[in-house]
Amino acid sequence: MKEENILRYETVALDDEKSALVIVDQTKLPGEVEILRLTCQRDIWEAIYLLKVRGAPAIGVAAAIGVYLAAKAVKADGYDDFCARFKEAKDYLASARPTAVNLSWALDRMERVVLENKGRNADELKTLLRAEAVAVKEEDIWVCKRIGEHGLTLVKDGDGILTHCNAGQLATAKYGTALAPIHLGKERGYTFKVFADETRPLLQGARLSAFELVSDGVDTTVICDNMASQVMKNGWVQAVFVGCDRVAANGDSCNKIGTSGVAVLAKYYGIPFYVCAPTSTIDMTVEKGEDIPIEERPAHEVTEMWYEKRMAPEGVKVYNPAFDFADNELITAIVTEYGIARPPYSESLREIFRRKAEAKRRQA
């Protein structure tokens, strides 16, 4: 019999013996917990594109494991050939989704292992790449735990918390980002009341966040996206916590479509709006939100998917951006593993990276 509690499953894992990326198929949740073992690159690319594995950190971990598996299968004619084949595999996986920077961040990190070990033979490179993929995953667990600790300092027992999309365990290697303070608070006896926006069109809030939170015994209410204003007006929300796919250097934060609307509402009602972002999600090379590439997805996700039958007329035009960004002025704070950044973000985010560099130096 399958385990009822979704939190007992690993979102993303490596099965090295079978040379497989192991994921929970998130398109089947909450109806069915199906574990997929993916061994070919095409299937891994498709799993990312189709959101079988999704959420910025989880995509990064899946890509790190995926590119390790690609490298493992390479029979190279020397170092240069290995590099070329690795780059091909990396570029292929990177093309699956454009917005979450964790995907290219993890793949670049894997590539650095190859580039910094010039002259090593293929077997040695494969061993190093395996260790790096495992490190990407292990670090994500630590990062999420830290975000949970920092996030928990921003709320108090009994608070109502609204969240959008799913930035929980299912979107990371463990614990989640925006949901980490809630899971951690639950563990420590806090009783939060969570409102999960259903998150049209792919319903990550209703299908995934609600499932995950209910599994953990958290008091959870699903609302349609257009109910958030009413819930806030009722005085039921003391804080908004959302995840993030890419933070620009000025603090503009790109997340699931609808996030910017929630941020505007929170500002109007005077509710703090917190973005939870691992440093792997902060892209200091991008100046502002407008410079972040926004994925556009197929029309059928809006007109048909999840409905019993098509709910919009044939031939109608559809606009389906998967993400938007909240302007930095709408964001009360950005919660990272190295502390809480507050406006002005162009300074506070640099300080977060200074702390990270210092921590790495101490570790070395």
Q: Which residues of 75-92 are buried (b: 16+ CB within 10 A; e: fewer)?
A: ebeebeebbebbeebbeb
Q: And the tokens for 103? A: 């995907």
Shortest Cβ distance from residue 55 to ligand MRU (Å)?
4
Rounded Cα distance between 100 and 163, Å, is: 18
Does 204 help bind ligand MRU (rule: CB under 6 A)?
Answer: yes
Q: Please choose, out of 66-74, 84-92, 154-162, 241-249, the segment that lies near ligand MRU by the rule CB under 6 A.
A: 241-249
The one catalytic residue among 140, 245, 252, 283: 245
Q: Which of 253, 255, 260, 332 binds ligand MRU (CB under 6 A)?
A: 255
Smallest Cα–Cα separation from 224: which of 272, 277, 261? 261
| Cα-based distances in Å from 217 to 6, 28, 232 | 12, 21, 23
Instruction: Please tell me the count of residues contacting ligand MRU according to CB under 6 A.
Output: 18
Shortest separation between residue 158's beta carbon and ligand MRU, angstroms = 25
Among 171, 182, 210, 334, binds ligand MRU (CB under 6 A): 171
CA-CA distance, 78 to 80, in Å (whole number)? 6
3-state secondary structure of 176: strand
Instruction: Check residue 57 for interaction with ligand MRU (CB under 6 A).
Output: yes
One residue of 56, 129, 155, 249 binding ligand MRU per CB under 6 A: 56
Return the number of other C-beta atoms located less than 10 Å from residue 215's C-beta: 19
Asked if residues 229 and 41 have their Cβ atoms less than 8 Å apart, the reply is: no
User: Minimum CB separation from ligand MRU for residue 48, in Å?
Assistant: 9
Which strand (E) or helix (H) includes residue 194?
strand 193-197
Give the residue among 171, 358, 332, 355 at the shortest CA–CA distance from 279. Answer: 355
**Distance between CA atoms of residues 9 and 162, nearest Å:** 25
| Closest distance of CB 41 from ligand MRU, Å | 20
* Maximum pairwise Cα distance, the chain: 66
Mark residues 73-112: x for contact with ligand MRU by CB under 6 A, - for none: ---------------------------x------------
* Segment near ligand MRU (CB under 6 A); pick from 87-95, 188-196, 242-250, 302-310: 242-250
Residue 219: active-site member: no
Residue 56 or 161 with smaller CB distance to ligand MRU:
56
Q: What are 353's two structure tokens? A: 């990276």
Q: Does 172 bind ligand MRU (CB under 6 A)?
A: yes
Contact 284, 334 (CB under 8 A): no
Among 244, 266, 271, 334, binds ligand MRU (CB under 6 A): 244
Contact indicator for 256, 177 with CB cutoff of 8 Å: no
Is 169 among the residues that bind ligand MRU (CB under 6 A)? no
195: helix, coil or strand? strand
d(Cα 145, Cα 348) in Å, to the nearest integer? 21
Determine, following the binding rule CB under 6 A, whether residue 207 of this chain makes contact with ligand MRU. no
Closest residue to ligand MRU, judged by C-beta, is 243
* 11, 41, 104, 177: which one binds ligand MRU (CB under 6 A): 177
Q: Residue 273's beta-bridge partner residues?
A: 240
Q: Is 215 in the site for ligand MRU (CB under 6 A)?
A: no
**322 near ligand MRU, judged by CB under 6 A:** yes
CB-based contacts of 271: which residues, under 8 Å, 6+ apart? 162, 232, 237, 238, 239, 240, 265
Work out whether 6 is an interface residue with ligand MRU (CB under 6 A): no
Among 125, 165, 232, 239, interactor with ligand MRU by CB under 6 A: 165
Does the footprint of ligand MRU cover residue 256 (CB under 6 A)? yes
Residues in contact with ligand MRU by CB under 6 A are 51, 54-57, 100, 165, 167, 171-172, 177, 204, 243-245, 255-256, 322
Catalytic residues: 245
